[in-house]
């Protein structure tokens, strides 16, 4: 592997770990505010990545590294524990808890986008002719600005992936619980019980759907980031 690929991989992993930690920490904090202290007592309500790595070493270390070596970008997972009895007793609180994770990722997308627009305003960044997962903004100089452009590109894209993928309403993704916010409590409980039997088959279904829709979401986000650019 070339040295620049190792540096890029390190940036990917730092961004992945930070983004995933924010996602799971947000779940735990929302659950705590809703009365479930399970994640809090497990040390998951934190931006320290170590407790999240200890809980899911496969999803936070091995899979991200393998996905980068295989495809040049990273994906993986972590998890925050919750009390299923609390979920059944307070399905609306559980729905807010589920949505807190993707919401944290969307906030990071907005922060990255704000930094990109700010850099463009001051003449540090400009829109690329062709956008990729590691290049949605280019720097007008090498060194620090180029590093910042790569970091912000990955931060923007990875969190867009994490937010939109997790919002799909299939188990075990967050959208499966989050969508119950729009149901009555009885309907929510029936929906959760019905979809629970699908287990991780939902991941396969979600990935098939996601591959078909994310190209549109990515293009839309670029055109919102650069009004008038007309990426297609």
Question: How many structural domains does the chain have?
Answer: 1
Write the pLDDT tens digit of every residue in 194-230.
888 777 777 888 888 998 999 999 999 999 999 988 8
Q: pLDDT digit string (tens) for 135-189? A: 999 999 889 999 999 999 999 999 999 999 999 998 889 999 999 999 999 999 9
How far apart (Å, rounded) are the C-alpha atoms in residues 115 and 178? 29
pLDDT score recorded for residue 3? 54
185 is catalytic: no
In a domain, 196, yes or no: yes
Is 211 a domain residue? yes
Percent of the chain with pLDDT over 90: 83
Is residue 54 in a domain? yes
Is position 230 within any domain?
no
The CB-side HSE value for 159 (13 A sphere, CA atoms) comes to 29
Q: What is the pLDDT of residue 228?
A: 87
Nearest to 115, CA basis, from 159, 161, 164, 166: 159
- Contact indicator for 167, 175 with CB cutoff of 8 Å: yes
Of the residues 24, 56, 138, 185, only one is catalytic, namely: 24
**Per-residue tokens: 85:** 């009895």
Residue 111 lies in a domain: yes
Residue 232 belongs to some domain of the structure: no
Q: Which domain holds residue 52?
A: 3-225
Task: Quote the pTM value.
Answer: 0.94
């Amino acid at each position: 592997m070339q040295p620049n690929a190792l540096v890029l991989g390190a940036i990917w992993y730092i961004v992945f770990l930070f983004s995933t930690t924010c996602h799971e920490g947000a779940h735990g904090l929302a659950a705590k505010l809703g009365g479930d202290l399970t994640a809090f007592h497990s040390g998951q309500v934190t931006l320290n990545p170590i407790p999240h790595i200890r809980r899911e070493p496969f999803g936070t270390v091995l899979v991200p590294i393998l996905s980068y070596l295989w495809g040049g970008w990273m994906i993986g997972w972590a998890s925050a524990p919750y009390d299923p009895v609390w979920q059944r007793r307070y399905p609306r609180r559980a729905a807010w808890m589920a949505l807190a994770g993707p919401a944290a990722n969307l906030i990071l997308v907005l922060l990255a986008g704000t930094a990109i627009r700010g850099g463009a305003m001051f003449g540090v960044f400009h829109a690329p002719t062709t956008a990729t997962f590691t290049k949605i903004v280019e720097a007008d100089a090498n060194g620090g600005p180029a590093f910042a452009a790569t970091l912000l590109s990955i931060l923007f894209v990875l969190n867009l992936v994490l937010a939109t993928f997790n919002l799909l309403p299939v188990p075990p993704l967050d959208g499966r619980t989050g969508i119950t916010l729009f149901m009555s409590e009885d309907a929510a409980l029936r929906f959760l019980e019905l979809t629970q039997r699908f287990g991780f088959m939902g991941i396969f279904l979600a990935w098939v759907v996601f591959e078909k829709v994310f190209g549109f979401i990515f293009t839309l986000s670029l055109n919102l980031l650069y009004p008038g650019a007309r990426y297609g």
